[in-house]
Structure 1
């Protein structure tokens, strides 16, 4: 399984990666720091993604919409406010920073669940 982590703080990215690999030891984890890099990774088959909202080149909302359209489970892991997300992403999973490892584990455990967002009428870029 390929797991995408979009996080511009290296320590946090490493922590999320360690939790993912603890639960999914055979996962191929890709860590990127920008929306541009993440959108390229999203063209690959993904099993799961963890997204910070504010990264080096902007907000990850366009990526989240793309993941919704592709039915890839994801969660925002961010210090940003969840209520600032676009309406289409209002139901997306959100883990506030600072987070605990169990929050990440819970998302991994819910892999079979479809993303909770309404991106069907939106154009993801």
Structure 2
């Protein structure tokens, strides 16, 4: 009898255009126990990953240079994938599809990220 196929591994998506913050976030997620983390720096890269991977949750930097992560946020929210928005801004205007999305103010620490991630499980 053949073994049952395994479930696809889930991926944590990090969309962050600042390399140092992206690396720091990836290291924090590793500390928390997540090994399958994909980091991208643009909306186009994020959408391509979402098309081919099963995303467990996503950490999205609101401002990505000349664009925002809102298109990624809306897509994931509509697909019922938990997200958190990170930002240095005081206010961010999220679309109705993402109402109630947690906002993590930069700079955030490991404990703050761990608390938000724990709410997804």
Query: What TM-score comes out, normalization by structure 2 length?
Result: 0.82
CA deviation string 1:33-71 (max 9, x = no partner): 001101111222101110001114511111111111111
Deviating runs (4+, > 6 A) in structure 1? none
Larger relative contact order (C-alpha < 8 A, sep ≥ 6)?
Answer: 1
Match of 1:123 in 2: none
| Alignment of structure 1 residues 87-102 onto 2, 5 Å | 87-102=96-111
CA contact (8 A) 2:78 2:97 kept: no
Give ranges in structure 1 of 5+ residues lacking alignment.
113-125
Query: What TM-score comes out, normalization by structure 1 length?
Result: 0.80
Secondary structure, aligned partner of 1:8: coil
Give ranges in structure 2 of 5+ residues lacking alignment.
1-9
CA contact (8 A) 1:36 1:57 kept: no
Secondary structure, aligned partner of 1:67: helix
Match of 1:20 in 2: 29
| Alignment of structure 1 residues 30-49 onto 2, 5 Å | 30-43=38-51, 44-49=53-58
